[in-house]
A and B are shown apart, each in its own frame.
Chain A
Amino acid sequence: MYDFNVARPGSIDEAVKLLSDEDAQALGGGQTLIPTMKQRLAAPELLVSLTNIPEMQGVCRDGDTLSIGGATPHAVVARDAAAHFPGLAALAGQIGDPAVRNRGTLGGSLANNDPSACYPAAALGTGATIVTNTRRIASEDFFQGMFDTALDEGEIIVSVDFPIAEVSAYAKFAQPASRFALVGAFVARYADGVRVAITGASETGVFRWTEAEEALSQDFSHEALDGLSVDSDGMIGDIHGAPTYRAHLVSVMTRRAVAAAI
């Protein structure tokens, strides 16, 4: 890869200042960015590591909200969120493989918004709030299509507030080589209704399956999904699966998530 300068700030303020340089790029765990840089698909002049900022680390419960620092690795979420929000912890524990989970971070995954990543399903499926250095962004407004988010240049995900569900589960059909989701469904039941978020399937990235949400809010059982399906128009088609196959998997994985949540 091309050479670049590096910085490892110890505070958010310092990181924000460094990232005001237009050729600077934030580095989370680097599990996507480093391979991308090796292929010279990204070539920042300044890489600002966010892994040495204590206030961006860790899992903290405040009432019915689980707040997770943006630089918290997946393995820490899988371990420390388990007692508070088992569905979310289990999702984190299914990302990549053990070594990837020790480096990859929540904020890095959300900021990248890979259409097949797991965390976007958790953020949208819980109605999470993405807290940045300047504002709070609702998950509905955050994801803006494949690899696109509401983040401005140089804006950092400091933490994410996840409303804790009564019950929840994530069901992922893993792409056998990459372990990304060919299709993943996150289902969460709250006092005011059920949310269903689907990753891996759509060309526009993570989305809510509102028809399923309505049916499950009436009757939280996999039978409630009988007869419901998503249109294959706009689903991803590649060597791993055709749009019709992915559309079918959306129903199957949502049913499995409901069965696992109960």
Chain B
Amino acid sequence: MESLSLTVNGKPVSAEVEGRTLLVQLLRETLGMTGTHVGCDTSQCGACLVHVNGDVVKACTMFAFEADGAEVTTIEGMADGDDLHPIQEAFRTHHGLQCGFCTPGMIMSAAALLKENPKPTEAEIRHHLEGNICRCTGYHNIVRAILAASGQPVPERTATATADA
């Protein structure tokens, strides 16, 4: 067993885990924080995205022991008490979710993008979401929500939606 000390959403956490324990298992099973989802478990869908030392990573494709000493932020750490994070609020306002399963990963991905690029274009948003799969295919409203969260005007229809129509 490995002894770990890390910070999760600003709070110090200690845990004993097996070598094979994935970061997402530590979060969900050991710490009971089930906001981070396991979608594909094959590093493709992005439902398990969390931030480790500020970088967005797939929690299903990182061992918990490698997060020893790290600062981890999950979807549970985004809201400020009862006040949703602006990205969460934008997803709600613009109906950026259908079943909601991919949403935690989408929001963590969007937060990483806006930190690096506060005013992304629609094309940049779509490119950045390459590793996030929404099986309801609700991408247009997800893109609109991220545009809104970045403080930019939200088109009635996104460019790709218009082209598809």
Could you tell me which A residues sit within 8 Å of B by CB distance? 1-6, 8, 27, 30-31, 34-35, 37-38, 47, 49, 51, 75, 96-100, 102-103, 177, 179
Contact assessment for A35 and B43 in the assembled complex, using a CB-CB cutoff below 8 Å:
yes
Q: List 26 A-B contacts (CB under 8 A).
A: A4-B19, A5-B19, A8-B66, A30-B61, A31-B61, A34-B22, A35-B42, A37-B20, A38-B41, A97-B46, A97-B131, A97-B132, A98-B56, A98-B109, A98-B112, A98-B113, A98-B128, A98-B130, A99-B58, A100-B58, A100-B61, A100-B131, A102-B52, A102-B56, A103-B57, A179-B130
Contact assessment for B61 and A103 in the assembled complex, using a CB-CB cutoff below 8 Å:
yes
Known A35-B61, A100-B58, A102-B52; further 11 A-B contacts with Cβ < 8 A: A1-B20, A6-B19, A6-B65, A8-B68, A30-B61, A30-B63, A97-B46, A97-B130, A99-B56, A99-B131, A103-B61
Could you tell me which B residues sit within 8 Å of A by CB distance? 2, 18-20, 22, 41-44, 46, 49, 52, 55-58, 61-63, 65-66, 68, 109, 112-113, 128, 130-132
Contact assessment for A3 and B20 in the assembled complex, using a CB-CB cutoff below 8 Å:
yes
Separation in Å of the A52 CB from the closest CB of chain B?
8
Interchain CB contact (< 8 A) of A99 among B18, B46, B68 = B46
Separation in Å of the A20 CB from the closest CB of chain B?
19
Separation in Å of the B41 CB from the closest CB of chain A?
7
Give Cα distance in the complex from A100 to B18, angstroms.
Answer: 23
Give Cα distance in the complex from A1 to B20, angstroms.
Answer: 7
Contact assessment for B19 and A96 in the assembled complex, using a CB-CB cutoff below 8 Å:
no
Give Cα distance in the complex from A4 to B132, angstroms.
Answer: 30
Give Cα distance in the complex from A179 to B127, angstroms.
Answer: 12
Residues of B within 8 A of A30 (CB): 61-63, 66
Contact assessment for B66 and A51 in the assembled complex, using a CB-CB cutoff below 8 Å:
yes
Separation in Å of the B60 CB from the closest CB of chain A?
8
Give Cα distance in the complex from A8 to B112, angstroms.
Answer: 27
Separation in Å of the A115 CB from the closest CB of chain B?
19
Q: Which residue of B lies closest to A37 (CB)?
A: B20
Given known A-B contacts A8-B66, A97-B130, A75 and B43 have beta carbons under 8 A apart: no
Contact assessment for A98 and B68 in the assembled complex, using a CB-CB cutoff below 8 Å:
no
Give Cα distance in the complex from A98 to B52, angstroms.
Answer: 13
Residues of A within 8 A of B63 (CB): 6, 27, 30, 34, 47, 49
Residues of B within 8 A of A99 (CB): 46, 49, 56-58, 109, 131
Separation in Å of the B160 CB from the closest CB of chain A?
16
Contact assessment for A31 and B43 in the assembled complex, using a CB-CB cutoff below 8 Å:
yes
Interchain CB contact (< 8 A) of A34 among B61, B65, B132 = B61
Contact assessment for B19 and A3 in the assembled complex, using a CB-CB cutoff below 8 Å:
yes
Interchain CB contact (< 8 A) of B62 among A3, A37, A47, A103 = A103
Give Cα distance in the complex from A143 to B20, angstroms.
Answer: 30
Give Cα distance in the complex from A35 to B42, angstroms.
Answer: 6
> Considering the complex of A and B, which 9 residue pairs feature the smallest CB-CB distances, nearest first?
A97-B131, A6-B19, A102-B55, A97-B130, A99-B58, A34-B61, A3-B20, A99-B56, A6-B65
Contact assessment for B19 and A47 in the assembled complex, using a CB-CB cutoff below 8 Å:
yes
Interchain CB contact (< 8 A) of B131 among A3, A5, A98 = A98
Given known A-B contacts A3-B18, A98-B109, A38 and B131 have beta carbons under 8 A apart: no
Residues of A within 8 A of B130 (CB): 97-98, 179
Give Cα distance in the complex from A98 to B51, angstroms.
Answer: 12
Separation in Å of the A9 CB from the closest CB of chain B?
13
Give Cα distance in the complex from A199 to B43, angstroms.
Answer: 22
Give Cα distance in the complex from A70 to B55, angstroms.
Answer: 19
Separation in Å of the B64 CB from the closest CB of chain A?
10
